[in-house]
Chains A and B, each alone.
Chain A
Amino acid sequence: LAKTTQPISMDSYEGQEVNITCSHNNIATNDYITWYQQFPSQGPRFIIQGYKTKVTNEVASLFIPADRKSSTLSLPRVSLSDTAVYYCLVGNPGAGSYQLTFGKGTKLSVIP
């Protein structure tokens, strides 16, 4: 069962790049790493997913080192609307037997 560890909170000014790192030392071979964003009283929303190396989409990049024991979510030029809790999730929903582990999340506060 992969356990994840993230910083509890981070502050950033508008326009800056934010990097949030998640540790998952006992990630399994077939586990994927997924990041979700959650605003208060709303369901989490998918941001990005990866297995290894680097993945980029229109909102973020995900960096995964070769040992896959950590991952870093990178948000370029954050705005006030990026203030939210970001969760790192490790698991394989397609596998037969597994458990999905959400970390406690990182509360990102973007300051004007």
Chain B
Amino acid sequence: DSGVTQTPKHLITATGQRVTLRCSPRSGDLSVYWYQQSLDQGLQFLIQYYNGEERAKGNILERFSAQQFPDLHSELNLSSLELGDSALYFCASSAGTGDEETQYFGPGTRLLVL
């Protein structure tokens, strides 16, 4: 158990809909990362937040957005969903205090868009 929790574990929805994925980092970790993993793309970095502020942005679509709240939990919002958005979405957290940062990954949310 990494200490990172993600909800829900599974999500089934239809094209055009909007969903919110939630992540709670390990206690004390300030950085949260979001990744998308689909069969043909491997692990794709989406975005990172540090103590409530966006720190780095990867291959995140404009239809996707994220935020980190004062209690440090984070949400990833996916809108206007397409079939191709079906994937595993992982959240990771790290201390955020130095260069040598180990990321601890959550169990993921499996999203299926029908």
Chain A interface (Cβ within 8 Å of chain B)? 30, 32, 34, 36, 41-46, 49, 51, 87, 92-105
**What separation, in Å, do the CA atoms of A102 and B46 have in the docked complex?**
12
State whether A92 touches B45 (Cβ < 8 A). Answer: no
Chain B: minimal CB distance from A58 (Å): 15
Chain B interface (Cβ within 8 Å of chain A)? 2, 4, 31, 33, 35, 42-45, 48, 55-58, 88, 90, 92, 94, 96-108, 110
Chain A: minimal CB distance from B107 (Å): 6
Least CB separation from B101: chain A residue: A93
State whether A49 touches B102 (Cβ < 8 A). Answer: yes
State whether B56 touches A97 (Cβ < 8 A). Answer: yes
Chain A: minimal CB distance from B93 (Å): 10
* Cβ-defined partner of B42 (8 Å) among A45, A92, A103: A103
Interface of A is mostly: loop
Give 20 A-B contacts (CB < 8 Å), ordered by A residue. A30-B99, A32-B101, A34-B102, A34-B103, A36-B105, A41-B110, A42-B107, A44-B103, A45-B2, A92-B99, A93-B96, A93-B103, A96-B55, A97-B55, A100-B58, A102-B42, A102-B44, A102-B45, A103-B42, A105-B42
State whether A99 touches B55 (Cβ < 8 A). Answer: no
State whether A41 touches B58 (Cβ < 8 A). Answer: no
State whether A46 touches B103 (Cβ < 8 A). Answer: yes
State whether A94 touches B101 (Cβ < 8 A). Answer: yes
Least CB separation from B105: chain A residue: A43
**What separation, in Å, do the CA atoms of A30 and B48 have in the docked complex?**
18
Least CB separation from B33: chain A residue: A100
**What separation, in Å, do the CA atoms of A102 and B37 have in the docked complex?**
11
